[in-house]
Amino acid sequence: MHKLLTDDPGGKMMLLGNEAIARGALEAGMAFAATYPGTPSSELSLQFFQISQESDLYFEYSTNEKVAFEVAAAAANTGVRSMAIMKHVGLNVAADALMTLAYVGVKGGMVVLTADDPFMFSSQNEQDNRYYAKLSGLPMVEPSSVAEAKDLVPYAFDLSAKLQEPVLFRTTTRINHSTGVVELGKIPPRHPKGDFKKDPLNLVTVPAVSRRLHVKLLEHYKEAQTLAETSETNFIDGDGRWGIICNGVSYNYVSDAVAELNSKDKIRVLRIGFSHPMPAALIKDFLKGCDQVLIVEEGEPYMEEAVKAMAQEEGLTLPIRGKADDLFTRLYEYNPAQVRGCISRYFGIKDDSPEMLDLSDVPELPQRPPTLCAGCSHRATFHEVRKAAEGLATIYPTDIGCYTLGLLPPLSAADFLICMGSSVGTAGGFSETTDKKVIAFIGDSTFFHSGIPGLINGVFNNHNFTLVILDNGTTAMTGHQPHPGVDMSRLNMEGYGQVDIEAVVRAIGVPHVTVIKPYKVQKSIDAIKEAIAFEGVSVVISKEVCALYANTLKLPKRKPFRVGEKCVDHKDCISSLACPAFYIWNDRVRIDANLCTGCAVCAQICPEKAILPVKKSA
């Protein structure tokens, strides 16, 4: 049995934040969940995927976040408790659906999980999704700890059911990827089937309907504000004339700092857990009891601006500060010492934390940057494209996935990236305004996610670019989730369809389509040369299963390779491929047989043919 299905109310368990949220959803009676995987939210969906295989929970990996949001919205409109799960930038993809579902509302309960990523541990930006709550008019809740994350999910579902609106549940990486002790509650029975009652004058958003629905949304907003005023998720710790208002993980750093600075009797802390609509009366009352206030929030000055406006409404002139050159930054995630330092400076409290070490005499250390795995098929394809395009002025728009790592030398196969699917759309633009050869890269899962409209656009507008689809048979970056191109029977799972990428590309009408096997180096280079010589849109599908995923699937292993006697040590292999299975021993190139997957790409590019398969006895 999945550990999150453990029926032990009152029992304690160590859980990862994402596991705790999943458990919270089960305790809320959630019966339906959909996602497109994205770090830091990915492990949350993994729990649902596993649980759905042994229970009546419905879960799907949808093609993108907008679709995930839409299927969950429909489920919630049949009265089924549903959840849509995505990383922060995923909500940009789903934003169109979000904005108008706020008008339509839901019947059951619906929670939209947005996992923000301050510091961009694994993201392209660090946008603050609290503004989506403000933009859509929907309620938002934010936990500060793993234990609270679990408890806040049922709260969010009940809130949603009460207001008949989806509720945004915002986490940050340090919630999703922290581990803590949670106390288990009861798991009620799920109700995976609902009913849909026709009601087009409230559910079909033509202008005349939406004009009324906007009024309804504002009424719900008002009701949410009333609930926020007395919500136990907004609470005050400590006492004193100095005030701190904070949210999320910042609350942890504030609490620890106040304790370490022995200031519990001087500083009063208001923790905001129900962060939209903000509890205005509660905050105004808090401000009246303070001589000066500090706002501690990662990201944008979302609360700071609101609190300052509230002070103005009350005619209060006390100092209220947060983001400033001498206090908090809008950049990156916060940490305990940084928060303690700002509190001590702002209120003038002595901080006698241990001194930092002087590290000026520590030598520069070699880096360990993330790199494509040994035997990764992307490395082969990048090398082949670079060879095929030798002598050409090129632009390489790329996309989001493991292959983004192709930006590092020696592969250097990434020139432009903004978001999921942008490789194809930007390729069209570059091809119109430059005379350079545009060769774009996109992964299989990302192609399904948002690459297809860009490709259709290229064909329709007769752009001139080559799109290389790196088809490794899985969503590798986020942990090998399936996508519509995956043969689910290989995972012993039934009841799925399968969409063939080549068939889709041909059906779009791409005039030049080739499929290559990237481990066959010369053949692939020749095919890519032809594709890039073609005027118009050409597509190369590079098909080879992810080397890590091949292990999971228990595919037959290839023999590893070794460097033989013929090696003359010009290190072409290392300097053009940089496969991590290579290492230098006594100034000679060697191959780590434990890392080598036997892809044989280096053996094919070695001019001396000095790289040979390891014989069994060797």
Partner 1 sequence: MEKKRLIIVAVGGQGNLLASSVLGEAALLAGIPIRMSEIHGMAQRGGVVESALLFGDAKSTIISDGEADVLVGFEPAETLRALGRCNAATVVITNTAPLMPFTVNIGQGVYPDLGELRKLIQQKTARLIAFNAAALAKEADNVLGVNMVLLGALIQTGVLPLTVDQVKEAMTRKTKKRFLESNLKAFQLGFDAAEAA
Site of interaction with partner 1 (CB under 8 A): 12, 14, 39-40, 121-122, 144-146, 173-174, 177-181, 249, 251-253, 255-256, 259, 335-338, 353-359, 361-371, 373, 574-575, 578, 580, 582-584
Q: Select 18 or 524, whichever has its Cβ closest to partner 1.
A: 18
Q: How far is the CB of 89 from partner 1 (least distance, A)?
A: 14
Q: Select 201 or 553, whichever has its Cβ closest to partner 1.
A: 553
Q: How far is the CB of 282 from partner 1 (least distance, A)?
A: 22
Q: Select 12 or 570, whichever has its Cβ closest to partner 1.
A: 12
Q: Select 361 or 494, whichever has its Cβ closest to partner 1.
A: 361
Q: Select 199 or 355, whichever has its Cβ closest to partner 1.
A: 355
Q: How far is the CB of 50 from partner 1 (least distance, A)?
A: 18
The C-alpha atoms of residue 303 and residue 252 are separated, in whole angstroms, by: 17
Closest of 142, 175, 146, 171 to residue 156, by C-alpha: 142
Q: How far is the CB of 571 from partner 1 (least distance, A)?
A: 8
Q: How far is the CB of 443 from partner 1 (least distance, A)?
A: 15
Q: How far is the CB of 15 from partner 1 (least distance, A)?
A: 10
Q: Which residues pair with 141 in a beta bridge?
A: 169, 274
Q: Select 90 or 137, whichever has its Cβ closest to partner 1.
A: 90
Q: How far is the CB of 362 from partner 1 (least distance, A)?
A: 6
Q: Select 18 or 82, whichever has its Cβ closest to partner 1.
A: 18
Q: How far is the CB of 584 from partner 1 (least distance, A)?
A: 5
CA distances from 330 to 97, 252, 296, 337, 418 (A): 28, 18, 11, 16, 21
The C-alpha atoms of residue 44 and residue 61 are separated, in whole angstroms, by: 12
The C-alpha atoms of residue 567 and residue 607 are separated, in whole angstroms, by: 9
Burial of 206 (0-12, 13-18, 19+ CB in 10 A): exposed
Q: How far is the CB of 32 from partner 1 (least distance, A)?
A: 26
The C-alpha atoms of residue 437 and residue 195 are separated, in whole angstroms, by: 54
Pull the structure tokens for residue 53: 């295989």
Q: Which helix (H) or strand (E) holds 415?
A: none
Q: Select 125 or 202, whichever has its Cβ closest to partner 1.
A: 125
552-558: list long-range contacts, CB under 8 Å, 24+ apart.
552/480, 553/490, 553/491, 557/597, 557/598, 558/597, 558/598, 558/599, 558/600
Q: Select 182 or 303, whichever has its Cβ closest to partner 1.
A: 182
Burial of 271 (0-12, 13-18, 19+ CB in 10 A): buried
Residues 610, 379, 454, CA angle at the centre, nearest 5°?
Answer: 150
Q: How far is the CB of 201 from partner 1 (least distance, A)?
A: 46
Pull the structure tokens for residue 178: 């922290």
Burial of 364 (0-12, 13-18, 19+ CB in 10 A): exposed
Q: Select 386 or 437, whichever has its Cβ closest to partner 1.
A: 386
Burial of 545 (0-12, 13-18, 19+ CB in 10 A): middle
